[in-house]
Chains A and B, each alone.
Chain A
Amino acid sequence: MAAQLDKDSTFTGAPPSFFSYFRDIRVIQVVLQIVFIILLVSILSFVVVNVYESLAERNLVPTFRFLASRSGIPLGDSPAWYSPDASYGEAFFVGVINTIRAVSVGLVGATVIGILVGILLLSNNWLIRNISRVYVEILRNTPLLVQLYFWYFVVFLEALPKDPTGIPAPGVASVPWTTPIMLILIFLITLLARRTSHPTRMTVGGFLGLIVLAVVRPAMLSNPDLAGMVNISLLLLIGIFLLISFFAPKGWRGLAIGFLAMTIGTILGAALFELLYYFGITSNGQALHLSIYPVFYYSVKGIFAPEIIPTSVFGIWAVFIAIGVALSIVLWMLAGHVTETTGKPVPRGTYAILAIVIFGVIGWGVAGAQARPPTVPIADDEGAIEQVPYSDAINSDMIPFEDWPLYRPEPIVIATPQLNRFNNLEIGNVLQPQYSALVIGLIVYTSAFIAEIVRAGIQAVPYGQIEAARALGLSTPQTLTRVVLPQALRVIIPPLGNQYLNLSKNSSLAAAVAFADTYQVGTTMMNQSGQSITGFSMLLIVYLTLSLLISVVMNIVNGRFQIVTR
């Protein structure tokens, strides 16, 4: 049959001619491509030659040499080494750093808020669902530029106080060393309580024990008449609770057990630290001394944040933390192996966190004991240097802030913002209003789009999948993590990558809020030097690199979540 047809067509078809050759679809395709390339090359070369000639007339041949000359650009948000005397290249570099600073924080913030709002959009609670809906609709239906102006001019320049107020003098607020032990005990008790039939009662018992130790014991110790009775009365209390636990109705024993565990645990902890002190491993209670500071202040000058400064004993603490992390990784893998071979569920996350916390606390104490010179040089009011015993110096605020890292027993010091008399920041970090407005604007705007993507992704998982998981007996969290999320991520990740790209490119709107990002520095540079071709190609390279980097990462992530279908 086929042969017949072929034969027929050769007989009936027109004889091949020169023009019929050009009706062949394969020839047409090749010819069209050649014509297109010739056109493109000629247009491009025409443009390039023209531009080059006109620039040459004005003595502005594209070159990178101008990058080394003095820029004279003052940058609001720049590292300490930068000044207007720096070169164009350095100014541009600061711009790139600023873009990366804004984009990286923006990506993380937008993802976190976006996921949260996306989940809230699906909430069963009418109020929460509709508030989230309004948030999303307002933000994604107004232009980003308008929002950035709002954050910068309305919120940061109008609504906030003109000068930072309420910033206190530097100081050390102390927390008793028993605090970390109590925190660990609370953690252990809630953990233990989860496995009993009455978790609430046991936890409540634990907290009662905590109150006794945190309030009653110190109060009794401070009263000389009662101090002698402290331990006897505590023993009595323990006895009473032991009795209660014997005679209490079944369900209420947990209360007594929780209380006992907390009381005995804290006393054992105290004894342990007394022993450590006795053998000279810790320097009294001071070794385990935590400092708490106020954290953030706002003003027209920006958001003021604390500065974290490592002290001379930071290295010792870091070693302990490293051991804790290593141990927690080993525990994590070991627990995974145990679950796999025996099937028993092991709270691996808890063990891992506990390992780090315990080593962190011990390391804090050990490091504190090392930071103990016999005397500390202190300058008095007249400026004369005087040697003061370490314990006296450390308990008062005699050590000047600059010397803290040398003498404080804590491995890290968290310093609150300090203003000099011109109300400029001396200590601490400041997030400038331009940067804050840009980052908050980008985060809030992009999070609305991410929220919709997350909502759609979760809803894209067929309900039958959830039913199947439930019918098998999987719990709600197991259904979510094993069945729903892996399938939702497959739908979420590609459009999420688009939003990441949008955010990174939208960061060039920084110019609107006068933030010195790549685009702003780049255009200023072009205006001043006239090197627009070089400048634009530099901008192109920076944004292209940033976007391609995000694309590559998202493609790798995407590849991991795709489902094999055939």
Chain B
Amino acid sequence: MVVEAVDTKKKADQFDEPIILVKNINKWYGDFHVLRDVSLSIAPQEVVVIIGPSGSGKSTFIRCINRLEEHQEGLIAVDGIELSHDVRNVAEIRRETGMVFQQFNLFPHMTVQDNITLAPMKVRHWSKEQAEKKAVELLTRVGIPEQAKKYPGQLSGGQQQRVAIARALAMEPKIMLFDEPTSALDPEMIKEVLDVMKELALSGMTMIVVTHEMGFAREVADRIIFMDHGRIVEQGPPEHFFDPNVEHHPRTQEFLDQIL
């Protein structure tokens, strides 16, 4: 059992072997078909930005990757582990996957430092000393080392979102999922969060980002995916998307015309 797990991990680490593999997943909310035959494979260190109109299923899609939502058909494998109903697989995938939410979802009853050290201590069984060292290191990385002893309610939105990123990174995940991380922020705070995300992308983290920030997509993304009505309509590198001479799918063209 243990031996098998090691083997699959080795495979995933090999070059060009996808770290996230999604095959023909379908999901319904009652009668509403949210995800239709979505297939995707993401290589290690790749930065993928998902864009699309609201209700197109992009948030639902990335929430399926760490089982915050359950898909009804198809296969999702993360880092060689299939996302099945086995609770151990789900737990393992969640350990390897960090997530940042639109509404930050920091724990308001804990200090910034406790927010960051909670999961490493409880899930990874690190010592308090080790977890706190990591917290200081990450807070320095996101640019707010002086806020460790404050509570989330005492921070600005941008600072809270940076703490949320640090909290997700503390688990040393292989993949980071961003669900509209800047949509709840004031325009001036968007930049400080995007800067942290850029730095993270450059450091080689595998990232899936759902966002409306086209500047970020153009600058950082390796690949942009356009989703509509639960389908992947078009995907390609940023040059492809932002080149006015390329002929796009009519639905993509309509969306790009509205936001660019």
Contact = CB atoms under 8 A, between A and B. Distances in A.
A472 B119 contact: yes
B151 A564 contact: yes
A487 B107 CA distance: 9
A563 B167 contact: no
Contact of B108 (A344, A472, A487): A487
A566 B154 contact: yes
Given A465-B105, A486-B109, A473 B127 contact: no
B91 A473 contact: yes
Contacts of A564: 151, 153-154
Given A471-B97, A565-B154, A342 B107 contact: no
A330 interface: no
B105 A467 contact: yes
A482 B122 contact: yes
A472 B118 contact: yes
Contact of A474 (B66, B68, B106, B123): B123
B94 A490 contact: no
A473 B126 contact: no
Given A470-B68, A472-B118, A473-B171, A340 B128 contact: yes
Contact of B123 (A341, A468, A472, A561): A472
A474 B91 CA distance: 8
Interface in B104-130: 105-109, 118-119, 121-130
B181 interface: no
Nearest to B108: A563
Given A472-B118, A473-B171, A343 B108 contact: no
B154 A472 contact: no
Nearest to B1: A197
A472 B125 contact: no
A472 B1 CA distance: 25
Given A472-B94, A486-B109, A343 B130 contact: yes
A475 B124 CA distance: 12
Contact of A563 (B94, B99, B151, B171): B151
A344 B153 CA distance: 31
Contacts of A342: 127
B190 to A, nearest CB: 20
Interface residues on B, range: 35 or more
Contacts of A565: 108, 151, 153-154
A468 B170 CA distance: 14
A559 to B, nearest CB: 13
B98 interface: yes
B162 interface: no
A467 B94 contact: no
A195 to B, nearest CB: 14
A478 interface: yes
A483 interface: yes
Interface string B164-176: 0001100100000
Contacts of A16: none
Contacts of B109: 486-487, 490, 561, 563
B57 to A, nearest CB: 18
Contacts of A487: 107-109
B103 interface: yes
A13 interface: no
A467 B108 contact: no
Nearest to A485: B109
A471 B69 CA distance: 11
B95 interface: yes
**Which 3 residue pairs of A and B lie closest in terms of their CB atoms, listed nearest first?**
A565-B153, A468-B105, A472-B119
Interface of A: 197, 340-345, 462, 464-465, 467-475, 478, 482-483, 486-487, 490, 561, 563-566
5 contacts: A341-B128, A343-B130, A464-B101, A482-B107, A486-B109
Given A467-B101, A473-B91, A487-B109, 19 more contacts: A340-B127, A341-B127, A343-B130, A464-B101, A464-B105, A465-B105, A465-B107, A471-B66, A471-B101, A472-B167, A472-B171, A473-B95, A475-B123, A478-B123, A486-B109, A487-B108, A563-B153, A564-B151, A564-B153
